[in-house]
Structure 1
Amino acid sequence: MTHELYNKMAPEARKVMRIASMIITAAILILAIASFVSSYFISSFESQLKWVALLLVIIAVLYAVVFVWLKPLYTYHVFRYHFSEQGIVVREGFIFVQQTQVPLFRIQNIDMDEGFIMRKYGLATLTISTAGGNVEISLIEKEQALKIKQLIQQGIIIDENNDESHTPLEITDENYDKIKDAQTEDEETLL
């Protein structure tokens, strides 16, 4: 499978990762400030609290460098996923590349998660559960996540001749529309 067939995270994923890391960095800095201020009120632990404050500031700076600046760049450039007839392939890593292949027939459950920051940027994370564990497709566009989830849950695709095919199709708007039309017809038949 060539590298061009793989999909990347949404471009906004870097921003979402940075915002989440900045919130944690701010929390660490607030603890550092609280420790420093409390050192003036608790004279018996004054020097220890100032050292704790200094340590927390160092931790906040290191955390910011790694998780606000480096990790979003690294994760965005190395994370890839692909959906095909064989299943879902998730590729992560730069030096040590980990490629996880999940055949469609092994998928037991699929969950879609949206945090409040992800929701603001229209992103979602899919967690695909199998008997062997979970695989995540992180920070992709919500529309794409819904399409993947719908195609996996549908299980079978109705082709143009209304013949059932047990082979999943590539995720395109046309294939997604076919599934939605087939579901609408099924729902109307039940009514």
Structure 2
Amino acid sequence: MRQPPSERIAREAIKAWRLAACLWSIVPIIITISLFVLAYLFDFSYWFGVILLAVSLIEIVITIIIVPNLRWKRWRYQVFDQEIYIQHGILIVSRTLVPMIRVQHVDTKQGPILKKYGLASLTVSTAATTHEIPALLEDEASALRDQISELARVEQDDV
């Protein structure tokens, strides 16, 4: 069995994922508040709202506090001359080898949350699918994009 990849994504990924989770957690809070308002207006039991509030709070704790740390600990990658090795997952750990000869193009992307923390994601496209290495430092993502592009070009020249 192969050793896990040695490279990690940027530690700032935890902050970016927490911010994204905070923004997504607004939805269950709005639904919970709406349920309390409906219970008040239509005079039905508040227990539905209390249960939904408890579930929402548990969801917030899990998605904002626990998951980003676990996700960061599991995300690893490594670029070799012949392949890219990617490992990720919390409960189910996925290990993917992407042969350089299959790489069609490599992109970096950056949304507003990643930009706030100086991060970018790298996507490696093959004919079958797209693989992503999220939340690398911007300079690291650009250098890795160029390195993979050059290695893929050399592999294709050898064929």
Deviations 1:12-57 (A, max 9, x none): 111111111122223311221122123323x2xx326x34433431
Task: Note the residue ranges of structure 1 that are not aligned, 5 or more in a row.
Answer: 158-165, 168-191
Rounded to whole Å, the distance in 2 between the matches of 1:11 and 1:94 is 17
State yes or no: 1:150 paired with 2:146.
yes
Whether 1:86 aligns to 2:86 is no
Q: Equivalent residue of 2:8, what SS?
A: coil
Note closer, same or farther for the CA distance 1:40–1:156 as it changes in structure 2 (3 Å cut).
closer
Aligned to 1:39: 39
Question: Are residues 1:9 and 2:6 paired?
Answer: no
The yes-or-no answer on 1:115 pairing with 2:111 is yes
What is the distance in 2 between the residues matched to 1:74 and 1:88?
A: 22
Assess if the C-alpha contact under 8 Å between 1:128 and 1:135 holds in 2.
Answer: yes
Write the distance in 2 (CA, Å) between the matches of 1:94 and 1:31.
Answer: 28
CA deviation vs aligned residue, 1:132-170 (integer Å, no higher than 9, x gap): 32221111112111112222334578xxxxxxxx37xxx
Which secondary structure state, in structure 1, belongs to the residue aligned with residue 85 of structure 2?
Answer: strand
Distance 2:111 2:152 in 1: 30
Rg comparison, structure with higher value? 1
1:175 maps to what in 2? none
Give 2:102's aligned residue.
Answer: 106
- Quote the Cα distance in structure 2 between the aligned partners of 1:31 and 1:64: 14
The residue number in structure 2 matching 1:73 is 69
Higher relative contact order (CA 8 A, sep 6+): 2
- CA deviation after TM superposition for structure 1 residue 77, in Å: 0.9
Q: How has the CA–CA distance of structure 1 residues 96 and 29 changed in structure 2, closer, same or farther, with 3 Å as cutoff?
A: closer
1:104, CA displacement in angstroms?
1.4
Change in Cα spacing, 1:30 to 1:140, as seen in structure 2 (3 Å) is same
**Quick check: 2:86–2:95 contact (8 Å CA) kept in 1?**
yes
What is the CA-CA distance between 1:101 and the residue it aligns to? 0.8
- Show structure 2 runs of 5+ residues with no match: none
Contact 2:102/2:126, CA 8 A, preserved across alignment? yes
1:134 maps to which residue? Answer: 130
Separation in 1, partners of 2:114, 2:133: 14
Give CA-to-partner distance per residue, 1:104-141, whole Å, 9 cap, x none: 12012323222211110011122212123222111111
Among all aligned residue pairs of Structure 1 and Structure 2, give the percentage whose two residues are the same amino acid: 28
Asked if 2 retains the 8 angstrom alpha-carbon contact of 1:31 and 1:53, the reply is no
Q: Is the 8 A contact 1:7 1:82 kept in 2?
A: yes
Give, in whole Å, the separation in 2 of the partners of 1:52 and 1:24: 21
Letter aligned with residue 31 of structure 1: I
Q: Residue 47 of structure 1 aligns to a residue in which SS?
A: coil
Q: Secondary structure at the match of 1:131?
A: coil
